[in-house]
């Protein structure tokens, strides 16, 4: 026993000595020394021009100072092809861009079909069911991973964001196929649909509590059937919270409209499913997600693990193509008078006051004397850029059959941009557009054939 104790003490001493050695080595190498500080100080020369720059930057907004006036003066918001629509939607303080964009590509058809002054779908209606489905998906994934270590990477990702606002095109498709759609008048916005932060945090807390309960039940020997019985009780609480915050989604409603000629239609009763079938009548499965994922080979089919809002539906699938092909198909669809759903990194090199997206709209290089350029692949690889926002292409300006700029319908209301619209220059498309949704009729056979192949599964932590 004494020998064993001595061995344990010796091992502890060796471990502590090794730890001290590692700390000592770390503290001596790689830190900012006085020599490094001295070199940095000497490199900064406060001459007349540098002092003027420092005075300007310390007392003014950087973006206003760096705005490229030549670019702004040369800019115009004219397009030689535009799709007619009316009104601008506003997602306000919520992460529903994907849902607004998905519904907005269908608005022009309804407005034209019924000669309406304006029309808007209820985003709140589908958002209710999206949230309910996401809660179920989270709880099912907790059951699915019940035997994993709490620090398992995939489980940690699930727990990190149990109830997100964000989504993808396929989320819109799955929701509409299951729940239909309703006009905004049948389920208008509430304070909580327009500002989702607090509600989201409360329901996320509740779901994490539920996760702890389900895992503890599993450890105590509960079967999957028993866990799912408890899950149903948990979902009742989620439904109640959603109904209190959003209102109750209609099972049927009455709708009538007034045309631009002031002709009022007869009032008719619909279910959400019959409204989509009779009034909208679009086959959403005809649309194919085309991505530009620079870190993986092109011409392949990919599937993003855990990228779904409805648990018992497949994960998101996309075809990976280069930017030139994305541009070609998006242009073809626009010229056929069909809006294009797309997703991009909206926070990069765009001006919300004037509604301009252009790589040279801000001249930061001149101010700082630094080159900030990176390839699209490196921006994505090193997390400088990623897909953050979905919008709709509603027009294009071409020269010699090639796009020079794109008309973008946003969902930030009409007080931002050019009355709710942005002009995206084609160079910006190259750098920051990552996804377009294209109707099959605008895709060649070689691309459609990719859909018949077995998808390559990407992990949930893939940057796309």
- Encode pLDDT of 408-453 as tens digits: 999 999 999 999 999 999 999 999 999 999 999 999 999 999 999 9
The secondary structure element, H or E, covering residue 390 is: strand 389-399
Note if 337 is an active site residue.
no
Q: Looking at 90, 344, 389, 442, which residue is catalytic? A: 389
Instruction: Report the C-alpha gap between 103 and 98 in whole angstroms.
Output: 9
- Count CA atoms closer than 13 A to 420's CA, side-chain side: 16
Residue with tokens 């084609």: 426
Q: What is the Cα Rg of the chain in Å?
A: 27
Note if 296 is an active site residue.
no
pLDDT at residue 15 in the model: 53
Along the chain (464 residues), what's the average pLDDT of each consecutive run of 10 residues? 52 52 61 95 94 95 95 96 97 98 98 96 99 99 98 98 98 99 98 97 98 98 99 99 99 96 95 98 98 98 98 99 99 99 98 97 93 96 97 98 98 97 99 99 99 98 94
**pTM given for the model:** 0.92
Q: Looking at 292, 320, 410, 442, which residue is catalytic? A: 410
pLDDT at residue 385 in the model: 97
The hierarchical CATH code for the domain 69-94+282-464 is 3.90.70.10
Instruction: Count CB neighbours of 147 within 10 A.
Output: 9
Please, is 11 exposed, middle or buried when counting C-beta atoms within 10 Å of its C-beta (0-12, 13-18, 19+)?
A: exposed
Q: Which two tokens stand for residue 156?
A: 């940690």
Q: Looking at 68, 90, 97, 316, which residue is catalytic? A: 97
Note if 442 is an active site residue.
no
Q: What is the pLDDT of residues 372-384, one digit of tens each?
A: 999 999 999 999 9
Could you tell me if 391 and 434 are in contact, meaning their C-beta atoms sit under 8 angstroms apart? no
């Amino acid at each position: 026993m004494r020998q064993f104790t001595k061995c344990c003490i010796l091992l502890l001493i060796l471990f502590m000595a090794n730890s001290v050695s590692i700390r000592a080595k770390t503290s001596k190498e790689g830190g900012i020394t006085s020599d490094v500080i001295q070199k940095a100080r000497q490199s900064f020369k406060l001459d007349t021009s540098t002092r003027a720059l420092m005075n300007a930057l310390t007392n003014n907004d950087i973006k206003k100072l760096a705005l490229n006036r030549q670019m702004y003066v040369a800019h115009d918001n004219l397009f030689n092809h535009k799709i007619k629509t009316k009104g601008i939607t506003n997602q306000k303080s919520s992460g529903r861009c994907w849902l607004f964009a998905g519904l907005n590509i269908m608005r022009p058809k309804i407005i034209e079909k019924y000669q309406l002054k304006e029309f808007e779908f209820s985003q709140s209606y589908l958002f209710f069911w999206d949230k309910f489905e996401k809660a179920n998906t989270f709880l099912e994934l907790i059951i699915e991973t019940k035997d994993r270590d709490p620090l398992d990477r995939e489980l940690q990702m699930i727990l990190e964001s149990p109830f997100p606002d964000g989504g993808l095109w396929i989320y819109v498709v799955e929701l509409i196929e299951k729940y239909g759609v309703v006009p905004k008048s049948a389920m208008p916005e509430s304070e909580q649909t327009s500002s989702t932060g607090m509600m989201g945090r409360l329901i996320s807390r509740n779901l994490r509590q539920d996760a702890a309960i389900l895992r503890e039940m599993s450890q105590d020997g509960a079967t999957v059937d028993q866990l799912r019985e408890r899950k149903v009780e948990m979902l009742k609480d989620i439904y109640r919270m959603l109904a209190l915050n959003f209102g109750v989604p209609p099972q049927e409603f009455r709708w009538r409209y007034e045309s631009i000629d002031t002709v009022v239609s007869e009032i008719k009763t619909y279910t959400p499913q019959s409204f989509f079938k009779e009034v909208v009548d679009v086959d959403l499965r005809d649309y194919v997600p085309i991505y530009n994922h620079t870190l993986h080979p092109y011409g392949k089919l990919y599937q993003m693990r855990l990228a779904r809002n409805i648990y018992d539906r497949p994960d998101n699938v996309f075809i990976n193509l280069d930017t030139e092909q994305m541009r070609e198909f998006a242009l073809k669809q626009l010229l056929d008078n069909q809006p294009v759903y797309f997703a991009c990194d909206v926070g990069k090199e765009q001006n919300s006051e004037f509604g301009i997206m252009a790589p040279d709209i801000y001249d930061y290089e001149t101010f700082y004397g630094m080159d900030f350029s990176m390839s699209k692949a490196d921006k994505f690889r090193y997390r400088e850029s990623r897909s953050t926002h979905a919008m709709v292409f509603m027009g294009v300006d071409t020269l010699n059959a090639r796009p020079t700029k794109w008309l973008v319908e946003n969902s930030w209301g009409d007080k931002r941009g050019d009355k709710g619209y942005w002009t995206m220059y084609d160079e910006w498309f190259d750098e920051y557009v990552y996804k377009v949704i294209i109707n099959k009729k605008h895709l060649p056979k070689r691309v459609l054939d990719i859909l018949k192949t077995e998808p390559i599964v990407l992990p949930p932590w893939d940057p796309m």
